[in-house]
Structure 1
């Protein structure tokens, strides 16, 4: 994105506002517009950077970066793959040892929830129950879910 047209408009507007004045006022406006260019360019870049950060927080699987190339700013969208299913935790000695059978009677509503949770994680109901029970006896939060909410990150670089 070329910032020069925006800076030129600012310069013209400043000089036009000084036009009704005498030669000293017009000369001062010309000098002032030249010295304001760097500050105005920096302000525009900060606004672009803030906009990119705000847009990034609203995107699920992408981030927006502002990259400086010479005196121009490029907006770049980086798409990220959605997180895959979590890796199952390693089997403990109790899970890899002898297998015991039990009968478990669940209310129909709870059974449906367990089936949905297992399906969401892509594992069998039995494997989900083994994880849930293992987490409960180890003092876990009650569920076998290992998913974590990913944080938002804004990255980028500047090159002059």
Structure 2
């Protein structure tokens, strides 16, 4: 996407506004337009990035990313994965049984609707390097951006049903690490 036309349009609008102020204002506007070009480009990039974030929330599990190549941004759209001709979940379950690996937790729900929670919020998340690389691998494996994958993971963690209070307290049994309840029943 070529931002030059938008920056030029902003420069022309500033010149038109300065015309109303006379020669002094026009000279000031001419001196300010060159330093303002980089600030205008940065502001446009921030707006495009915010728009891509909003679109990603609606497109999940697909995503839209903004990448800067040279001086102009480009959009990278990752569509949601297409439906497979075979039953991938059954294939995975058979493979896990053969390797005697416990099945993964249920799939996380889709990202919540932005209108439902009042929009998106930006946070900084610090991860250990080894965890970050595993998140990136998982996101690539699922065909998602890291942001979309993290939104799904957090949403899934928040949607898991809680264990009954009695079971958590250990009065009649206990929950094991693999979400199995052991105990007795009357």
Bucket of the pairwise TM-score, normalised by the shorter protein: 0.5 to 0.7
Give the alignment of 1:68-147 within 5 angstroms: 68-81=68-81, 84-85=88-89, 87-88=92-93, 90=97, 146-147=105-106
Equivalent position SS for 1:85: helix
1:32 aligns with 2:7: no
> TM-score normalised to the size of structure 2?
0.48
Q: Are the counterparts in 2 of residues 67 and 74 from structure 1 also a CA contact under 8 Å?
A: yes
Q: Give the Cα separation in 2 of the matches to 1:22 and 1:52.
A: 41
Q: 1:155: how far off?
A: 5.1
Match of 1:124 in 2: none
Q: Are the counterparts in 1 of residues 60 and 110 from structure 2 also a CA contact under 8 Å?
A: no
Q: How many residue pairs are counted as aligned between the two chains? A: 107
Match of 2:108 in 1: 149
Structure 2 stretches of 5 or more lacking a match? 112-143, 148-186
Whichever of the two has the greater Rg, that structure is: 1
Match of 1:60 in 2: 60
1:10 aligns with 2:10: yes
Q: Give the Cα separation in 2 of the matches to 1:155 and 1:8.
A: 35
CA RMSD of aligned residues (A): 3.2
Q: Give the Cα separation in 1 of the matches to 2:109 and 2:66.
A: 22
Q: Give the Cα separation in 2 of the matches to 1:20 and 1:42.
A: 28
Q: Which has the higher contact order (CA 8 A, sep 6+)?
A: 1
Q: 1:145: how far off?
A: 8.7
Q: Give the Cα separation in 2 of the matches to 1:65 and 1:81.
A: 16
> TM-score normalised to the size of structure 1?
0.55
Q: 1:148: how far off?
A: 2.2
Equivalent position SS for 1:2: coil
Structure 1 stretches of 5 or more lacking a match? 94-143
Q: Are the counterparts in 2 of residues 55 and 64 from structure 1 also a CA contact under 8 Å?
A: yes
